[in-house]
Chain A
Amino acid sequence: MSSRREKADALRRLMNSEGETVGRNTRNVNQLSDYAIQRFDDYDEARSAARGIKESAIENLPELIDRVDEAVEENGGQVHVAQTAADANRIVEGIMADRDAEKLVKSKSMTTEEIEVNDHLEEAGYEVFETDLGEFVVQIADEAPSHLIAPAIHKSPDEIAALFNHAFDLETDLSGDPNELTEFARERVGEHIREADVGMTGANFVVAESGTLMLVTNEGNARKTASTPDTHIAVAGVEKLVPSLADLQPFTELIGKTGTGQDITSYVSLMTPPVDTPIPDFEADEFRDAEEREFHLILLDNGRMGMREDDDLRETLYCIRCGACSNACSNFQSVGGHAFGGETYTGGIGTGWEAGVHGLDSASGMNDLCTGCSRCVPKCPVEIDIPWINTVVRDRLNRDAESDEFDFLVEGLAPDEEPGGLDLQKRLFGNVGTLAKVGSLTPGLANAVAGSRPGKWLLDQAFGVDPRRDLPEFADETLREWYGARGAQVSDPDRDVVLYPDVYTDYFDPERGKAAVRTLEALGVRVHIPAVPESGRAPLSQGMVETAREKAEAVHASLVTHIDDGRDVVVIEPSDLAMFRRDYEHLLPERSADRLAENSYEVLEYVYGLLDNGADADALSSPADGDGELAYHSHCQQRTMDLDEYTETVLSDLGYILRTSDVECCGMAGSFGYKREYYEVSVDVGEHLRDDLGDVSDRQLIASGTSCQDQLDALYEREVPHPIEVIAPR
């Protein structure tokens, strides 16, 4: 239990010290990036091209390595393949010694962070200086980067000024003016570059055919680092190889847009080293012949070839490290990369990288911070399913955990497919469907226990359920009980649908289910509400993949006969629809997953379709005088699937006046806000949503997801209905 408390404390500390600056900066970049993508008509085309190039490059990696070896050698450089970080460092050190070098300057590269080359060289007596200003700051602060592309994103100008004033013996202290700080850092760094014996860069891409490196920067430091000293060492993961120059085109267009929100970064350098540029010797004030240039390309494996063989982690190798997934992550926005990191990598895809290059342990600290909200998915320029990678790693961590003394207690009781050592908290939330079924047998008792002090104490102690959050209350009558007693009321239907009775609607909030029934019936649809198991969302979000797969199979089995009968499946809870449309891909045979995905609809999407096909909107509730103003927060997964527009259009067509939220996620994300260690993060993210929605005292607040409703409920202390409850006939 104490580790939960420690984790909560650590997160709180980071939120207090870095949260505000990280939040401001990441949200800013995220918005710029949304805007850049929106103006780029070919976004989806470029993404699939980029993905295709990466898929085939990773597939053909061994050939590409041979190819680049030849090409670089032909240019007069040398390729070294390093199996491990230690190998890479040994090679670097050898080059330094051969050149009698003393000082190395480095442009920003996560791969060199991964091998910790600075520490290694410094221990061997060499001087190493970072040239990217953000890295320079982090180096002086002796910290790890907080972000893949913006290492010092967690520091404000005042903090940087204080850091510089402390580190350097200056005649007059620097103020927090960014121009002055930049000028100062530029001078310092510039001097190091002019004096350095060796320049080290990473590479965003390496072209196998020609040995060309693509280096992307705004500052120009990579160019200077590569072309000023006479020796250039580039360190790149093997995954950076692409076959030919033309393959770089989609990446050139994507990387600025998703990474920094620029249409294109200031410099996209296509360098084929050793370059022809004469060598400037600033001390002697003369140029030396370019012939004297030396170039080494170190290709790093360090776990990557293993990732290539791993069906679930392989996608991580497609990552171009633009950092967009971190900026789009509401939890990252709150806690920043120092909470969201392992030994090297941070943020959305950090878990995948850490699991691949450093092992599961290093990924474990941050893995739970992913709530699976999926807002990073549309942002990834190579279409990586980041939440799935996080789920897989979570599953492996579950399986890796050691059994403890309580296991015999749960092992026999829990109806899941998971191993003994699984964290009890995860097991509780993962089995919520079963718990709900049991609890709803005696809803009064269950509510009393869950709401009582001893009940809350037990949930806190044994499962880490935060007592500050109220658990949802069981309804007296489930949706299916209500519907069973009432029966279908449309006899000559235009359409037949199955309303998917998700756990929350069925047991806790049947009102929104009833509203869905009334709405669909009013539009001429006959509704069926059969018994269908929980979608698997709950276990999936806890990383219990096998349990989720079993649920998926059961759901498919019970819905497929309805689909065979020509019935559409209508889903109220967006996270369950996301299971059917996105996650089942990973859990079911392709044809089964496709079938379910194609025949399932979000409830307001379905209503939109009915109205669009001529159903009579007058049958629905439109705003009576005075209550037509709404503040609407759509669910994160609903937005990822581009479904929020249907709700917004239906509501405004009916005459409602809508204000919507722009934030990525409400921060509740199902079980997340209930967990003691994350409760405060959840509140922090929620408060940002409240700021974004502004004053809503004059209007009704509505939300599509149960987790969002819970969160808004707690933030505003008022009931937050589903949009379907607003438009349902009274």
Chain B
Amino acid sequence: MSTDSLSTFETAVPGTVHRTAAADASEALAEAIEPPAIGTAIPHDGVSLPDSVETDLSPSDLESAATGVTPAALGIAEYGTVTIPSGAAGDELVSLYTPRHVAVVAASDVVPDMAAAYERLSEDFAAGADTQILSTGPSATADMGTLVQGVHGPSETHVVLLEDR
């Protein structure tokens, strides 16, 4: 991915971005996580979740964890969006129930704009990843008179960007 897109992405993400090499991902994740944390497996070579992250989940973990870590399929530079595919591991719930969500995205999966994102999404869907959430920043509402973050979803979002993946 062009460095241009990466820096656009980094500026556009409404939350903290941690740029890291895959080898140092554990450190970056540790920095992004507030314990207790739950997570689903990261599909990139050489990247694993820190031991403190619970992956064998129960519904009560969803309610009590402070952080949820999931992989993201895509980053969309123009909007600072990540897409969260939902799978049997429970990514959708992990990314939604915890007050902080940490998405892990590979630099090679960052596309410049929405048109490119939909090209990739169409491929993903054809290949079976047919539920993905385009997620941009924390959950929010203005229904109570002013903007409040963290309603049904996270109040804080982090993105761990794997520069060499």
Contact = CB atoms under 8 A, between A and B. Distances in A.
B118 A245 contact: yes
A285 interface: yes
A182 interface: yes
B58 A223 contact: no
Nearest to A273: B131
Contacts of A280: 59, 62, 93
Interface string B88-101: 10111100100000
B41 to A, nearest CB: 15
A244 B79 CA distance: 22
Interface string B34-60: 000000000000000000000001111
B138 interface: yes
Nearest to A224: B152
A286 B61 CA distance: 10
B151 A212 contact: no
Interface in A265-283: 265-273, 275-278, 280-282
Nearest to B78: A263
Contact of A270 (B58, B133, B139): B133
Contacts of A178: 144-146, 148
Contacts of B140: 218-219, 266
Nearest to B97: A224
B55 to A, nearest CB: 13
Given A137-B143, A218-B140, A290 B133 contact: no
Interface stretch (A128-136, A488-496, A657-665): A128-136
A478 interface: no
A160 interface: yes
A189 B122 CA distance: 34
A722 to B, nearest CB: 40
B135 to A, nearest CB: 6
B151 A133 contact: yes
A160 B144 contact: yes
A266 B153 contact: yes
B130 interface: yes
Contacts of B130: 210, 212, 270, 272
B131 A271 contact: yes
A264 B136 contact: yes
B125 to A, nearest CB: 6
A167 interface: no
Nearest to A136: B143
B66 to A, nearest CB: 16
B118 A246 contact: yes
A636 B60 CA distance: 56
A78 interface: no
A219 B144 contact: no
Interface in A537-588: none
B63 to A, nearest CB: 7
What class of interface size applies to chain A in its complex with B?
35 or more
A275 B57 contact: no
A290 B121 CA distance: 23
A150 interface: yes
Given A156-B145, A227-B93, A245-B121, A252 B114 contact: yes
Contacts of B121: 245, 270
A157 interface: yes
A249 B151 contact: no
A276 B114 CA distance: 25
Contacts of A186: 150-152
Contacts of A287: 57-59, 90
Given A178-B148, A266-B153, A223 B143 contact: no
Interface in B87-124: 87-88, 90-93, 96, 114-115, 117-119, 121-122
A489 B134 CA distance: 66
A12 B12 CA distance: 45
B152 A190 contact: yes
A253 B88 contact: no
A8 interface: no
A630 to B, nearest CB: 37
A221 interface: yes
Contacts of A131: 152
Given A270-B134, A271-B86, A281-B59, 20 more contacts: A133-B143, A137-B143, A156-B145, A160-B145, A182-B141, A182-B144, A210-B125, A219-B152, A219-B153, A227-B92, A249-B115, A264-B79, A267-B134, A269-B134, A270-B125, A271-B133, A280-B59, A280-B93, A285-B60, A287-B58
19 contacts: A150-B143, A186-B152, A189-B152, A210-B125, A210-B130, A223-B153, A227-B92, A245-B121, A252-B114, A263-B136, A264-B79, A265-B136, A266-B136, A268-B133, A270-B133, A271-B86, A272-B130, A275-B131, A276-B86
Interface of A: 25, 131-134, 137, 150, 152, 155-157, 160, 176, 178-179, 181-182, 185-186, 189-190, 193, 210, 212, 218-221, 223-224, 227-228, 244-246, 248-249, 252-253, 260, 263-273, 275-278, 280-282, 285-287, 290
Interface of B: 57-60, 62-63, 79, 81, 86-88, 90-93, 96, 114-115, 117-119, 121-122, 125, 130-146, 148, 150-153
6 tightest A-B CB contacts, nearest first: A220-B153, A157-B145, A134-B143, A272-B130, A280-B59, A178-B144
